[in-house]
Structure 1
Amino acid sequence: MRWLFLLLVVLNVFYYVWHQQEAPLRAKDVTPLSLYRGSQQDIRLLSETAGESGRGQVVPRQQCLFLGGFSEEDSIARLQQRLVAMKVNAQSVPKAAAGSGYWLAIAPDGQPLLGDQQLQNLSKEFNGLKHKIMLCEGVAPAQ
């Protein structure tokens, strides 16, 4: 057992010396990030941008209210009828674009008609009603 221990110690010493013989790796030169980005020095969130077009002029982005999240199409049809009765213009959003469930997009001119109280009443009337505010045209800018 003693010989086995001594053999392992000798092998470890040999292994250590062998790795020290290799040429040490030299430090890699790191280019500053400011040289890559040029004039764009800061990080901006999508919510902080006002929607910039390709020519440098600022185009304001419209935000729409989305109501829905239903898994059944008839529930969203009943909600749309209820909104028409409230004189709120709502458009159906394709299921693939909205993610999971069926959604209605409320135009910015119809949002003042739907305050917190009206949204609470609608959520009591329609179980599982969700609402969120997102950009009307989506995240990707139109080209």
Structure 2
Amino acid sequence: MRWLFLLLIVLNVFYYVWHQQEAPLRAKDVTPLSLYRGSQQDIRLLSETAGDRRRGEGAPRQECLFLGGFTDEDSIARLRQRLLSMRVAVQSAPKDAAGSGYWLAVAPEGQRLLGDQQLQNLSKEFNELKRKIMLCEGVAPAE
């Protein structure tokens, strides 16, 4: 048993020396982050980028709530009627605007009328109901 212990110690020493010769570790030179940043020393939101200012959009973009995701037109028509009865202004979104299926775009002023409780009630009433919040740009009523 003693010989086995001494053999293991010799093997460990050999393994240690072999690894030290194979790849000695060196400390890397780290360049300070301030040299990379240059003039951009602050964090900016995407809505505050220079591209928005170049296009003349000083005001933040409006976001719309999209409700739907239905595969049939009957469900979206029933949802439209339900939202109109709640006095929420909606318009049909193009099929490619919010993804696959039929969607309704809720106007920003209509979003104030729809709270979490109302959205949960609508989810219980319409099983497939999904909601997304996306930019209102480019959303035109489908006729």
Output the TM-score relative to the length of structure 2: 0.60
Displacement of 1:69 in angstroms is: 4.1
Count of residue pairs the alignment pairs up: 134
In the alignment, does 2:126 pair up with 1:123? no
In the alignment, does 2:43 pair up with 1:62? no
Say if 1:56 and 1:65 are closer, same or farther in 2 by CA, change over 3 A.
closer
Displacement of 1:60 in angstroms is: 2.4
3-state secondary structure, aligned to 2:54 = coil
Displacement of 1:28 in angstroms is: 1.0
Contact 1:83 1:90 in 2 (8 A): no
Match in the other structure for 2:28: 28
3-state secondary structure, aligned to 1:67 = strand
Say if 1:3 and 1:135 are closer, same or farther in 2 by CA, change over 3 A.
same
Contact 2:66 2:131 in 1 (8 A): yes
Say if 1:70 and 1:6 are closer, same or farther in 2 by CA, change over 3 A.
same
3-state secondary structure, aligned to 1:98 = coil
Say if 1:123 and 1:60 are closer, same or farther in 2 by CA, change over 3 A.
same
CA–CA distance in 2 between the matches of 1:68 and 1:78?
Answer: 11
Contact 1:50 1:59 in 2 (8 A): no
Structure 1 gap segments, 5+ residues each: 139-143
Match in the other structure for 1:76: 76
Say if 1:30 and 1:100 are closer, same or farther in 2 by CA, change over 3 A.
farther
Structure 2 gap segments, 5+ residues each: 139-143
Contact 2:88 2:106 in 1 (8 A): no
Contact 1:51 1:59 in 2 (8 A): no
Match in the other structure for 2:89: 88
CA–CA distance in 1 between the matches of 2:135 and 2:12?
Answer: 63
CA–CA distance in 1 between the matches of 2:69 and 2:12?
Answer: 64
Deviation sequence 1:92-128 (CA, Å, 0-9, x none):
242x65357542112335545x344994697288324
Contact 2:90 2:107 in 1 (8 A): yes
Say if 1:17 and 1:73 are closer, same or farther in 2 by CA, change over 3 A.
same
Residue identity matched to 2:16: Y
Deviation sequence 1:66-113 (CA, Å, 0-9, x none):
22244544211322344456472412242x65357542112335545x
